Amino acid sequence: MAEFLFEIGLEEIPARMIAGAQAELERRVVAMLERERLVRAGVESRGFSTPRRLAVTVAGVAERQEDVAEELVGPSAKIAFKDGVATPAAVAFAKKAGVAVEDLKTVSTPKGEYLAATSVKAGRSAAEVIAAELPKELAGIYWAKNMYWRAGKPERFVRPVRWMVALLGSEVVPVEFAGKTAGKVTFGHRVLFGDGEIAVWAPGTYVEALEKAFVIVDVEARRHRIRKALDRATRSVDGLRWREDHGLVDKLTHLTEWASVEGSAGRDSVVLGGFEAAYMELPEEVLVTVMRDHQSYFAVEDKAGSLAPHFLAVLNMEADEAGLEVIRHGNARVLRARFNDARFFWEFDQRVPLVERVKLLESVTFQKDLGSYAAKSERVKKVAAALAGLVVLRGAAVDVVALDEAVVLAKTDLTSELVKEFTELQGVVGGLYARAQGFSAAAATAIYDQYLPKSMEDSVPRTVEGAVLAIADKADTIAGMFGLGLEPTGSKDPFALRRAANGIVKILAESAVALPLTLGEIAQAAAGHKEELVSRLEVFLAERLEFYLREVKGQAYDVVKAVLAAGANDVRDAVARAEAVTSVRGSDDFAAVSAAFKRMKNILSQAGEKGFAAGAVVDGALLTEASERSLAERSAELAGAVKGLREQGRYAAALEAIATLRPQVDAFFEAVMVMAPDAAVRGNRLALLERVLGDFSGIADFSEIVTAGL
Amino acid sequence: MVLDKKKALTFQELLFTLQRFWADRGCVLQQPYDVEVGAGTMSPDTFLRVLGPKPVRIAYAQPSRRPADGRYGENPNRLFRHTQLQVILKPPPERVQEMYLESLVAIGIDLKEHDIKFEEDNWEWPVGGAWGVGWQVMLDGLEITQFTYFQQCGGMDLDPICGEITYGLERIAGFLQDVDSIYDIVWAVEPDTGRKVTYGEMRLAEEEQFSAYSFDYADVGRLWEHLNSYEAECLGLLEKAKGFEGMETLELKRFPVLGAYELALKCSHMFNLLDARGAISVTERVGVMARIRMLVVGVAKAYAAQGQMLNEVAKEGVAV
């Protein structure tokens, strides 16, 4: 048994691809070793990476594959030997099995004596297998974007391969890939260590050997060091703390090979810099975007949580205080230039107020067949007005004047220099400009929030006006694209329509003030009189509701199906019903009633197939059995109570009430044969089942609930 | 220990030093191309020389015009016309990144005193059917270089591929001299008097006037006429280029594909002016870009075909 180490050295890998590639390399190497019978299943392995390398170690690799013995059965003994002499049939079989003729055996089978042989497939050495198989695994690694670099273009990879290390124990495995042959030489940090070669003598010394060369190959260790270095640098000014940003920590972890630890001779790898307080006049959103998205700097806040005029830069370097001062100065200079740009754009944009930009939207294309953003704004205006009308009608407060202003101005920031420069701030900039230009807070906030939620983790618009604008905008986009036949297919969703529809569902489910709007009404408002389009949109939105219930709310598959079968139009209601079903589904009574309802549904569908008609109403006079009378009576009593509870939204209580029907349901199926020979009796019993299902399926179609084990 | 401003290279010394550095590594120094281009990549010394199998090492400074980026000389960080130092290495040597880092040392950047990161940045020029993968090189948070492995050009796969290093000279000079405005960069120092000639002295008037020209003065109707007429001339040549097969060797050799490329570049510049002038609606934009793409890609294909046919003729000549 030996430990195996493989490292592939590359020119800087894009940060966004490293984590996935590290995991894939580890998975592929382990799977290959398992497939080749060189490790047992579930063997211990570790993955490593920096911007310039991917690596994996696997413990307990066998030195060779075990020989595999296989029993082969050949021709019948009668044919194989004539007078004790081997015939050509025996010779051919021996050759095929790879054994001498003398080593052939016979076995008894029901058909008589047959020739047999134990064929042994010799195992290959681990080094031989790895050298043969690993290059294929490397070539198979997925890269979002890869490149050619060698003449004749023999292979594509994310970036040029510079070196490889492959060690099985202390022995080099000469893996060949991309014109390189693996050895035991790796390289350290370009600047902190320099160009010198580093020999790795055994897999166990890999991490340590590189740490001495200023490379921390363990990603989590590097991440931890970076976080600590951020803490240290922030502490140098009293009362400051850095704004947590997991995405940025992750990015910088994959942009660096080294990070300092405390007390490394006063050297450190994060600098805290400052910027002039005058820039604080710019909106915080702009400052933070410049720092985070454009410079990869962390924002810093004071004790009260307000943005402080500081930034933190994470280096792929370490230096003493004098050295850090040089780097701080350089970074501060760049940030100043960026802020100057932003201020220039901000001031420049104020020369043309948003109102005057409305006209400019005519020359900004939304989509070539759907026209300009001016046309889109006109459509969104109608959709928003229709939705706001419904909301008001149902008693919720909407500032329609503010909503109207917000819709008209919503897209005007697309013509601003600031948004052209910082596209991720679309909407936000419009909201800030609207506020600066004297529009009401309601209008400004609605504009600001119009693109929310950007993901399922994001928050929803804070106000009713913002929510209506966001829904109308998204619904118009979806309706427009569907109208052009550009709906998403399979994994392809180039216009992010699923995300838009997910956003609509999330807003309806999570807005601070409930919006009394159904998915059907939204589809209707966006697609107008085009009935076929309306129904396609309804189906699409219902799918996204299903996604929301399952992926965001974590509801079980069958619960979601049951709930949506009883209605998929009212998002908040569907969420409440799903939660209620989940809360009661564990009880025996509920499971039994669900099973019974499924049986009822099956009976009704069988009756339908056989052409047996159900009575129009349940006729008391035809209820002959005691148990069917008691089901009819009890269910009729319960129906009223359940209806009342449902109307109050007390779904869990309603479901508990339905579950109390279990004794009557059980007794009914115990004693009554629904498919009675007498047509009138049968029809009446079918009518009873229909009534029970109808009365109690308003919250969920229980027949969809999986009740295995009962 | 802030950067020693006195020792910092002047703008022209920066250019000399980088040119010397790359000349010492086998690059032929070319002069800037004398037709308006938006980037050093568009010079035929890059765009056309990357095509075909012939190895190339070439370096040149290229003034690059982007009319829409003009700010009347009021913005200290933005220019209508900036200078790129373009280095083309086909095929790229194995240690091209290390060579590049040595060039930074040559211009006075001690790598041990700064933070350098290679961050993913893929370059693309859709109009030229050209793209590559690579990095923006960040020096203490400042993007100083675009480093690209060219993969495709004129819609054609490159083999061998090509390494392209594009230094932003103004940014680097501003960094070395530690000035906050491009216009304060010292371009040269008069040896006798020590008088400093600044970037502003050399270029501010140009920024002011060309910003005004491209934003306020340029005659939209005439720009369209220019665009259409350059396009017609280019298309005429491309049409004739379809007859390569029937041409005598001399005629083929003299066929002005290079002239057609200049005409395509002219169209591209007219487009940029119209765009800065706000004269191209978004709907029109796509269409005009497609027209120019047809010219640029058409020229690249003709250039490759011409080169290949002349190569074959040369080989046959030897055989006979």
Q: What is the mean pLDDT of residues A230-245?
A: 94
Prediction ipTM score = 0.94
How confident is the model at residue A120, as a pLDDT?
87
Could A330 and B119 be called an inter-chain contact, meaning their C-beta atoms sit closer than 8 Å?
no
User: Are the C-beta atoms of A300 and A275 separated by less than 8 Å?
Assistant: no
Q: Please state, in angstroms and rounded to a whole number, the distance separating the CA atoms of residues B233 and A531.
A: 53
Could B178 and A333 be called an inter-chain contact, meaning their C-beta atoms sit closer than 8 Å?
yes
Q: DSSP state, B108?
A: T
A669 in contact with B, Cβ within 8 Å: no
How confident is the model at residue B60, as a pLDDT?
98
A325 in contact with B, Cβ within 8 Å: yes
How confident is the model at residue A710, as a pLDDT?
41
Give the pLDDT confidence of A432-443 residue by residue, as tens digits: 999 999 999 999
How confident is the model at residue B26, as a pLDDT?
97
Could A364 and B282 be called an inter-chain contact, meaning their C-beta atoms sit closer than 8 Å?
yes
Q: Please state, in angstroms and rounded to a whole number, the distance separating the CA atoms of residues A335 and A196.
A: 35
A344 in contact with B, Cβ within 8 Å: yes
Taking the domains of chain A in order of start, what are their residue ranges? 2-64+125-212, 68-121, 219-350, 358-579, 585-704
Q: Three-state SS across A222-263?
A: HHHHHHHHHHHHHHCCCCCEECCCHHHHHHHHCCCCCCCCCC
Could A153 and B157 be called an inter-chain contact, meaning their C-beta atoms sit closer than 8 Å?
yes
User: Cα B171 from chain centroid?
Assistant: 16
- For chain B, residues with pLDDT lower than 70 are 1-6, 281-283, 318-320
Instruction: Label residue A309 by pLDDT band (50, 70, 90).
Output: very high
Could A317 and B159 be called an inter-chain contact, meaning their C-beta atoms sit closer than 8 Å?
no
A683 in contact with B, Cβ within 8 Å: no
Residues of B in contact with A336 (CB under 8 A): 180
Picking from B78, B119, B161, the nearest residue to A255 by CB comes out as B119
User: Are the C-beta atoms of A429 and A420 separated by less than 8 Å?
Assistant: no
Q: DSSP state, A574?
A: H
Picking from A151, A325, A331, the nearest residue to B2 by CB comes out as A325
Give the pLDDT confidence of A459-498 residue by residue, as tens digits: 999 999 999 999 999 999 999 999 999 899 888 888 889 9
Give the pLDDT confidence of B104-149 residue by residue, as tens digits: 999 999 999 999 999 999 999 999 999 999 999 999 999 999 999 9
List the single residue in B with minimal CA-CA distance to A366. B282
Of chain A, the percentage scoring pLDDT greater than 90 comes to 70
Taking the domains of chain B in order of start, what are their residue ranges? 11-215, 218-312
Fold of A2-64+125-212: Alpha-Beta Plaits (3.30.70)
Q: What is the mean pLDDT of residues A196-220?
A: 97
Q: What is the mean pLDDT of residues A595-601?
A: 88
The H-or-E segment that residue A298 falls in is: strand A297-301
Contacts of A64 (CB under 8 A, 6+ apart): A123, A124, A125, A126
User: Are the C-beta atoms of A206 and A216 separated by less than 8 Å?
Assistant: no
The tokens of A698 are what? 């308003």
Picking from B92, B116, B281, the nearest residue to A363 by CB comes out as B281
**The pLDDT of residue A373 is above 70:** yes
Could B283 and A195 be called an inter-chain contact, meaning their C-beta atoms sit closer than 8 Å?
no
Angle between helices B220-241 and B257-276 (to 10 degrees): 160
Q: What is the mean pLDDT of residues A212-217?
A: 97
Angle value at C-alpha B276, between B274 and B281, nearest 5 degrees: 60
**The pLDDT of residue A292 is above 90:** yes
End-to-end CA distance of chain B: 69
Give the pLDDT confidence of A134-146 residue by residue, as tens digits: 999 999 999 999 9
Residues of A in contact with B75 (CB under 8 A): 340-341, 344
Q: What are phi and psi of A365, to 5 degrees?
A: -75, 130
How confident is the model at residue A437, as a pLDDT?
95
Give the residue with greater pLDDT, B63 vs A424.
Answer: B63
Interface of B with A in 2-31 (CB under 8 A): 2-3
Domains B11-215 and B218-312 share a fold: no
Pick from A248, A297, A331 the residue to mutate for testing the B interface (most B CBs within 10 Å). Answer: A331
User: Cα B252 from chain centroid?
Assistant: 28
Which CATH number is associated with domain B218-312?
1.20.58.180
A377 in contact with B, Cβ within 8 Å: no
Give the pLDDT confidence of A502-549 residue by residue, as tens digits: 999 999 999 998 999 999 999 999 998 889 999 999 999 999 999 999
B118 in contact with A, Cβ within 8 Å: yes
Which CATH number is associated with domain B11-215?
3.30.930.10
A259 in contact with B, Cβ within 8 Å: no
A330 in contact with B, Cβ within 8 Å: yes
B142, B120, B117, B144: which is closest to B132 by C-alpha? B120
Q: Please state, in angstroms and rounded to a whole number, the distance separating the CA atoms of residues A246 and A226.
A: 12
How confident is the model at residue B2, as a pLDDT?
46
Average pLDDT value over all residues in chain A: 93
Q: What is the mean pLDDT of residues A72-98?
A: 87
Residues of B in contact with A313 (CB under 8 A): 115, 141
Q: What is the mean pLDDT of residues A556-580?
A: 92
How confident is the model at residue B100, as a pLDDT?
98
Q: Please state, in angstroms and rounded to a whole number, the distance separating the CA atoms of residues B83 and B64.
A: 6
